[in-house]
């Protein structure tokens, strides 16, 4: 084997090693694309803490990731309602009940074993709820709207 062929073989071997190392780094550095494995456990915790009730007007559960937002808007008969909310996961979820965006909202803290937060709200004809995740990971937010007395 000549010296030129040996150097060429060395260059190809180094290039192959660098290519394999780069591919391994690229695969390991890629962000996770699947759902957080804790989400099913958090869903169960949220349903246990805020179960469906009779009579309830509305209820929903939303999985939010960092910075994600969701909105729910629906017509309801006017009156006084109790909004029960819970957040299972990390961080907190900021809830806003005004569709105009003039309020800063209320932060509902998230935890593995969350405590429900209740608000009494008066609704004329339309219920609006905006949820924004202030988390580093995932969070499961569950809410329930039931008719209540008062006002």
What is the reported pLDDT for 89?
94
Share of the chain above pLDDT 70, in %: 94
pLDDT band at 54 (very low <50, low <70, confident <90, very high): confident
16 and 61 housed in the same domain:
no
What is the reported pLDDT for 101?
66
Q: Which CATH number is 130's domain given? A: 2.60.120.380
pLDDT band at 150 (very low <50, low <70, confident <90, very high): low
Highest mean pLDDT of the ranges 24-28, 84-88, 102-106: 84-88
114 and 90 housed in the same domain:
yes
4 and 58 housed in the same domain:
no
Range of the domain at 109: 39-147
The pTM of the full predicted model, rounded to 2 decimals, is: 0.75
113 and 59 housed in the same domain:
yes
CB 69 within 8 A of CB 54: no
Domain count for the chain, please give it. 2
63 and 103 housed in the same domain:
yes
Res 33 pLDDT > 70: no
Q: DSSP letters along 74-103, please? A: EE--SEEEEEEEEEEESSEEEEE--TT--S
16 and 44 housed in the same domain:
no
CB 58 within 8 A of CB 144: yes
CB 60 within 8 A of CB 128: no
Q: 118 is written with which tokens?
A: 């209740």
43 and 25 housed in the same domain:
no
Give me the chain's average pLDDT, please. 89
pLDDT band at 105 (very low <50, low <70, confident <90, very high): confident
89 and 25 housed in the same domain:
no
**Which burial class, exposed, middle or buried, applies to 45 when counting CB atoms under 10 A from its CB (0-12, 13-18, 19+)?**
buried
The single residue listed with the structure tokens 């660098």 is 18
56 and 103 housed in the same domain:
yes
57 and 113 housed in the same domain:
yes
End-to-end CA distance of the chain: 96
CA dist 16 and 5 (Å) reads 16
The single residue listed with the structure tokens 């099913």 is 40
Backbone angles phi, psi at 101, to 5 degrees: 80, 15
18 and 49 housed in the same domain:
no
């Amino acid at each position: 084997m000549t010296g030129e062929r040996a150097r060429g073989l060395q260059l190809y071997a180094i290039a192959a090693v660098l290519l394999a190392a780069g591919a391994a780094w690229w695969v390991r550095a890629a962000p996770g694309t699947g759902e957080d494995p804790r989400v099913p456990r958090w869903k169960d915790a949220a349903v246990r803490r805020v179960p469906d009730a009779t009579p309830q007007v509305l209820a929903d559960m939303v999985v939010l990731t960092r910075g994600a937002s969701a909105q729910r808007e629906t017509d309801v008969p006017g009156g006084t309602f109790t909004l029960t909310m819970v957040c299972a996961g990390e961080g907190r979820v900021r809830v806003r009940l005004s569709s105009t965006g003039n309020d800063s909202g209320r932060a509902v803290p998230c935890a593995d074993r969350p405590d429900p937060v209740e608000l009494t709200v008066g609704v004329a004809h339309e219920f609006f709820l905006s949820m924004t995740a202030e988390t580093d990971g995932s969070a499961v937010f569950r809410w329930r709207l039931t008719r209540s007395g008062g006002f």
